[in-house]
Structure 1
Amino acid sequence: MGATQKLREIGQSLWLDNITRGLLTRGTLRRYRDELGVTGLTSNPTIFDHAIRNADFYDEAIGRERAAGRSGEALFFALALEDLGRAADLFRPVHDATGGVDGWVSLEVSPLLADDTAGTVAAAAALHARGGRPNLFIKIPGTPAGIPAIEEAIFAGVPVNVTLLFSREHYLAAAEAYLRGIERRIDAGLDPRVGSVASLFVSRWDVAVQEEAPAGLRNRLGIAVARRTYGAYRELLASPRWDRLAAAGARPQRLLWASTGTKDPGAPETLYVEALAAPDTINTLPEKTLLAFAEGGAVNAVLPEDGGDAEAVLAEFARTGIDAAALSERLQREGARAFVKSWNALLALLGERAPT
């Protein structure tokens, strides 16, 4: 049994953290689905920037959309929805076979809306309607302004991938927003089956402390944070509150491991995949990491439901002077700024590439 199949056997979904028109037109994404068991994908502004910048697959479409009068954000979303619509159709059989649990693709709202709750809600509803696919997640950041937007989007029936989560506390805030949205739907007599995932970023923790962490703690902080968050996730799913919602027909908001490509050249490419094997979760992988895991990865253990040694490891980091709570807030702010930077670069690129 291959490594990717072993993850599926324990109940973890593998999604691709990438989308390009070349993956679709060359049949590569279909092959990843059929041969490696990939059952969904995620995207973000940086991914689309790289996709458009490094290939000519989009030139014809850019010209067509520009001729139709689209530019800037309107041009980008036209291109993105075309790609993600095709990907959603490719994963639609998975979505249908799993009753809507799996087979999702994700599109992010404009990062410029990160501090605009009302604007985020309106954009999420509009993008989901334009996408016209039941298996299209709209990504909303779990920032202070994003949390109320998540509740409102869920209440409105918009499936949400909560992004830019960096800690157990961030996850719990996102989960609370999801639960409130579902509870409001039940109270209003609406269908409680609205899909959602909560995306915890992992590797950026280790990048942030690589100069401070002693050798024995190198590349262990992100995994410890993920383990602690997994403990909170399992505790929530075992709660009476969730039991009531499940009895009414609600689905769990699944926990998703994001940023799982290894940034340290001295560490195995499969480090975070092997460390975060867990039931009822998703791991979204860069292509390089997916292929490395498929070729030589191993599933040696499953995450303990209580988070295992997470607290002990985090205590070791605290003794070195690393304040995980403060760092999580910094990472979220930096992540939001990075997406804005990529967004602006992407729009500038489209302006350069689009014919006048």
Structure 2
Amino acid sequence: MPASETLLPLFQDLASLMELEGEYLSHRTALFLLGQIPDLPAELTAVSPRRRRNRTVGPRPLVFVFHPGEKPRHIQVTAFGKISLPVSTLEKTLLDLLADMHHAPPLDELAALFVRLPYHPATLVAMARQASDTVLKRTCFLAAWAGRIHVREIPFAAFRRTPVKLDPREPATGLAWDNRFFLKVPSRAFRLPLPPGPANLDPDIAAWVELRRSPAFQEWMAGEGRLPILGDHDGKELDGFFGDLFRDIPAARFDDLFHDHFGRQPLQEPAASDPAPVPGPAPLVAGPAIRTPSRPASHPAKAVTPASPTPPPA
């Protein structure tokens, strides 16, 4: 079925149900309408400043999430033909997911959004500071977990000392305490795989995201039970990781690195069938210099007359 035949009724039904000023589509519904996820979620969600009963759009329920005092900010418009719908921006969508965790995908999918979506981290943190302490802590941790934020961009001094769970849906057992964020984090979060980041990242951020995607780095994080953050302690806490990484790695494992990044051909061990090398000339060995005694110019060397042979006896 063409996409137009699927989206047109959806836009028509949603537009007829968005009645109040300040209402907008958010959560996974917004991600679908913004083209960030491929499938329409089983449950559609809209944020409203007033309590409203849920509706139905085709076979799917439309849940109105009540945000008291919600101001119509950080909302954009997506259109299909002449029909337009109010939709949250990417940054606002992420914050709504963290505020309404019961409408968020599982933690592994939620965390992956902080890696791959093309949001602006500084804008995200600034908006989170206006939301709540809980949302701010979760936002900063997941942006740091994703490798998308520098330590200097995290407002640690703004965190209240009240403990917060990163995901209240996770079991109470197996939680690690991060005293920098005053956050209880599932230990399994350190081993979660990361998708590729957006293509337009700053080079330092892009390199850090690639390091975070390394399975070896994730295993080291799980062993340490701590999230390293870009720029924290000038990278000193990573010394242990790189020491463990390179300690027992055979030299051949670095051949691709030398060839791709330094333009050097990998060293090849001689095969058994290779001919033996032909020895070259022996190298010159420097010895002590032989000095010839000099003579004064006024005493030229005397000519030596060879002695006459002795005649044989008569």
Q: Which has the higher helix share?
A: 1
TM-score (norm 1): 0.27
Bigger Cα Rg = 2
TM-score (norm 2): 0.30
